[in-house]
């Protein structure tokens, strides 16, 4: 598994999944519609480093509504 410079992996409580959208997806979200993210990125809250990312459809669907949005 990948680690950040703090030593945290994606399973650690200080690592947060964030979703990334394209411009169309961000527009749809701003209008109150649902949009599908392009990828999920795992970011350490302590050092701010991106640990890993995923474009797997099952991961995206699992975290689609329970993550922060990267703009």
Give CA–CA dist 65/71, Å, rounded: 16
31 Rama class: left (phi>0) / alpha (psi -120 to 50) / beta: alpha
Q: Cβ atoms within 10 A of the Cβ of 20, count? A: 17
Prediction pTM value: 0.85
Q: How confident is the model at residue 71, as a pLDDT? A: 67
Checking DSSP bridges between strand 68-70 and strand 50-54, what pairing results, if any?
unpaired
DSSP symbol at 42: E
Q: Can you give the pLDDT at residue 60? A: 94
Per-residue pLDDT tens digits of the chain, which is 71 residues long: 789 999 999 999 999 999 999 999 999 999 999 899 999 999 999 999 999 999 999 999 999 887 788 86
All structural domains of the chain with their residue ranges = 15-70
Token readout for 19 is 């979703």
């Amino acid at each position: 598994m990948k680690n950040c410079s703090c030593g945290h992996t994606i399973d650690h409580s200080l690592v947060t999944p964030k979703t990334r959208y394209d411009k169309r997806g961000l527009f749809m979200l701003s209008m109150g519609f649902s949009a599908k993210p392009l990828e999920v990125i795992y970011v350490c809250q302590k050092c701010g480093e991106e640990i890993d990312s995923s474009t797997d459809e099952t991961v995206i669907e699992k975290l689609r509504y329970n993550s922060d949005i990267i703009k």
